[in-house]
Chains A and B, each alone.
Chain A
């Protein structure tokens, strides 16, 4: 298809604002899928995605549309992960497009996530087509949605299309707007092939299947191509598109979107956002490539130590379709053998853990997540630390910097005081406050990533009775007074509970952890000291008093079998305990605390 008849676009929306329903409508209206095939939520393939209403992985879909002007267009819907954890992936997907549909729920208005994603799309200079969806709802407020479009997102209200994806209202207008408003792709003017690899998945038979958008030249089977950033030369085996199932095409030309295979064994070999070019006559790389780095780290351990190999195999499988996920073996005194895992953000971490549990049926425990700290040593060298265990001794540290995020919190007016208090508690500073409408405000603030890892989102939900929403983008690093908090049991450090915290929070966290540990550590024949320490300084202390007795008060003939089995079980349990000096602590106790 000639480039003037191609349109590449994606859809930006907050969870539940109707992205999936609209996608399905477009697929249906263009005849890409028949009604009978229209499984709800066609594009989202993982159960987890459906449950959470977000897209983690999605194929680009090619649709054929005959416009009112009588001409036939190839419309490529390039779906994006809806969450900022995957902002680099979002930005890569967006850069494969010339335009984006921005969906706003007429009943809900603009949400925090919408703001973050519109910022990304604007950075990519995409043509944005606002769609005010769900106008059929009785409490839809189209006028308000329009005001918010202008005030918050600076998008002219008159450009908005009114629609109800559910009722099929406005679908035609949207398709026409895609054709009329989104510019057609233009060749870059380079000498040879330039294609953007923006995603990939693993196929057992074909190896890595890379999603591409051709910017210049053409991509076809048999061509020797070079992956510029990965530094790899491969021969293209197959090219094709999705409708939404993959189908083979002779070639992909300027502006077209699809996939290629090249006997690539591991997704790690293809970097996200890489430029594919002609190996014999290479063109320069497309702009915007970045190496992706995990932002959040956590240890993942099998609850049953015998599952270690099994976990290892499953992590490898997971990584096949999630090249942003990284892991390496580590071991912990308290938890045994496991893996240090890196994630793009909190949601990514949660998703990987959930997939391990549900799809792979693994019984796992995760340690307290950590962000990546930048440590400047006294000799001037820079060190990145994602594991408290590797934080250098204080006297070698010149300064520690921590990653910050710019967070958008939208909440009803009456909770603004509580919300500001929460942000302050989380060491954040509110940059500015905007009134969205008569009911809601948006607080834009700068917060340490470390502070929003655990319960920030839940706290917002509970403060606002479920009406608040939050999203964030990554911001720069800031120097911070961070310290390493160690938890000691009878003087020995329990690595699984060490963490890097702000000095102002170390004491309360140390106390809380000590109290929790006291609850779960069973009484021993000797008293057990539980301490929280920064460097050599003890800041929290609890004592598990010595057991005074361990005896069954009453035991006669009828009790013997049951009692023996109980003792056998205890004995078996003690074998799995970890020794801290003279103290034996069951692994379950540590797991209990990590779960809490």
Chain B
């Protein structure tokens, strides 16, 4: 049997030097031995899926991928080369500003990694401390220079706002400093209080209150400043530059800036991807899979020569299309009707006409002959809108 190859690949690196106060991602404190075992297991997993994989986008997320040492990275990168998995048009690795070294950056760049996503969160040392981040503002500047020196010309900065204790002034300062760095991409999101995180526990304990007004004001400030600095918002939390070095680049599709993260767009557009590593999810041939979160368990399965899938989910065609519609609306470009039909086999204008009309009437969305998208006001209620499309 042969299938269309899967063109997106996510790899989860579940290790952190220190767990942040807001983080609910699966990660564990690193022990050298377990990391080594994980690398071997991951290599095994690469081998198991390589045949049906021809990645155009790759994303190494975590955890802290940059925590892996040079030798471990070499093993992974060489395996990928051996299996013919390199050469992606967009290949991102997440980095913590405290764990970037010139050697490591050069190694990654030389094997084809061409995009770095740096978890900055804030330029305020007090807030960084509050969040349990291990880096300082100085490290951000230093790491950014290191990455540029290693040849990375596509860098994303992750920022967080509405952090407890963060004033509008502090947020404005962080925005100024981030924009001044001149990255190609900016991801910025309001702090999320996930169950089972220290930050959530503090909220429950009444140590601080959530100020919705303030959070909204910070979001508005973000959009305004990012756009003034030449960024284009293309998703609720994502901004990218549309040109580089003065020469305009051709956008892949309307409303999407040139430096948008294609890997993430694939998620929102309902595309396929393989997910490797503990807790990673995949979406292949209409089936969503999730790997075991426990690294030990993950390794044991792969050591036995099988993938470490904990659960799978297959939705019916309409439910799948509804889900795809819902998540695609997170993007400013919304859904071009034809593209939606290509991806899902369903027509938005038929199945979801009532929902679209309702949102347009509310001022939350607009449509033309080409497609349907949420307005800036609608994007603030993207979940309310998304809910309508689920079937």
Contacts and interface: CB of A to CB of B under 8 A. Distances in A.
Interface of A: 525, 547-558, 560-561, 563-564, 567-568, 570-571, 574
B281 A554 contact: no
Contacts, number: 84
B39 interface: no
Nearest to A523: B212
18 contacts: A547-B381, A548-B380, A549-B216, A551-B379, A551-B381, A551-B382, A553-B192, A553-B236, A553-B237, A554-B237, A555-B327, A557-B264, A560-B281, A561-B281, A564-B390, A567-B326, A568-B387, A571-B388
B236 A567 contact: no
Contact of A549 (B10, B279, B380): B380
B7 to A, nearest CB: 14
- Counting from the closest, the 4 A-B pairs by CB-CB distance are A553-B189, A557-B267, A553-B190, A549-B380
Contact of B387 (A555, A558, A571): A571
Interface string B252-287: 000000000000100110000101000111010000
Interface in B29-87: none
Contact of A561 (B219, B288, B326): B288
A550, A551, A567, most chain B CB atoms within 10 A:
A551
Nearest to A549: B380
A537 B289 CA distance: 59
Contacts of A567: 326, 383, 386-387, 390
A548 B383 CA distance: 12
A551 B381 CA distance: 5
Contacts of B241: none
A258 B169 CA distance: 86
Contacts of A549: 212, 215-216, 219, 380-381
B327 A550 contact: no
A561 B320 CA distance: 11
A525 B273 contact: no
A412 to B, nearest CB: 37
A557, A564, A571, most chain B CB atoms within 10 A:
A557
B10 A557 contact: yes
B189 A554 contact: yes
Contact of A550 (B10, B313, B384): B384
Nearest to A566: B383
A560 B327 contact: yes
B382 A550 contact: yes
A64 B116 CA distance: 96
B383 A551 contact: yes
Contacts of A556: 264, 267
B267 A550 contact: no
Interface string B182-201: 00000001111000000000
B330 A557 contact: no
A108 B10 CA distance: 75
B216 to A, nearest CB: 5
A571 B313 CA distance: 20
A547 B380 CA distance: 10
A378 to B, nearest CB: 49
B115 interface: no
Contacts of B273: 557
Contacts of A560: 267, 281, 283, 288, 323, 327
A8 B50 CA distance: 93
Interface residues of B, number: 38
A552 to B, nearest CB: 6
B213 interface: yes
Given A552-B236, A553-B191, 4 more contacts: A550-B384, A551-B379, A553-B189, A564-B323
A558 B293 CA distance: 12
B275 A550 contact: no
A548 B216 CA distance: 7
A570 B326 CA distance: 14
Contact of A558 (B237, B280, B327, B388): B280
Contacts of B279: 558
Given A555-B327, A567-B326, A567-B390, A550 B383 contact: yes
B358 to A, nearest CB: 12
B290 interface: yes
B381 to A, nearest CB: 5
A313 to B, nearest CB: 36
A552 B24 CA distance: 15
B180 to A, nearest CB: 24
Contacts of A555: 236, 268, 327, 330
B234 to A, nearest CB: 14
B267 A548 contact: no
A336 B279 CA distance: 43
Given A557-B283, A561-B290, A570 B380 contact: no
A447 to B, nearest CB: 39
Given A525-B384, A550-B382, A561 B216 contact: no
Interface in B208-226: 212-213, 215-216, 219
A525 B264 CA distance: 29
Contacts of B387: 567-568, 570-571, 574
B212 A552 contact: no
A546 to B, nearest CB: 10
Given A564-B390, A568-B390, A570-B387, A551 B283 contact: no
Given A548-B216, A553-B192, A571-B390, A561 B381 contact: no
A356 B6 CA distance: 57
A63 to B, nearest CB: 61
A570 B384 CA distance: 9
Contacts of A570: 383, 387
B200 to A, nearest CB: 14
Contacts of A547: 381
A554 B235 CA distance: 10
Interface in B354-391: 379-384, 386-388, 390
B143 to A, nearest CB: 22
A139 B56 CA distance: 88
Given A551-B379, A552-B383, A564-B323, A557 B212 contact: no
A573 to B, nearest CB: 10
Contacts of B390: 564, 567-568, 571
A295 B382 CA distance: 52
A328 B370 CA distance: 58
A550 B219 CA distance: 13
B326, B381, B386, most chain A CB atoms within 10 A:
B386
Nearest to A568: B390
A557 B263 CA distance: 9
Contacts of A568: 387, 390
Contacts of B237: 553-554
A571 B189 CA distance: 24
Interface string B284-310: 000010100000000000000000000
A558 B327 CA distance: 12
B63 to A, nearest CB: 12
Nearest to B190: A553
Contact of A548 (B213, B313, B330): B213
A535 B313 CA distance: 56
A211 B323 CA distance: 66
Interface in B226-241: 236-237
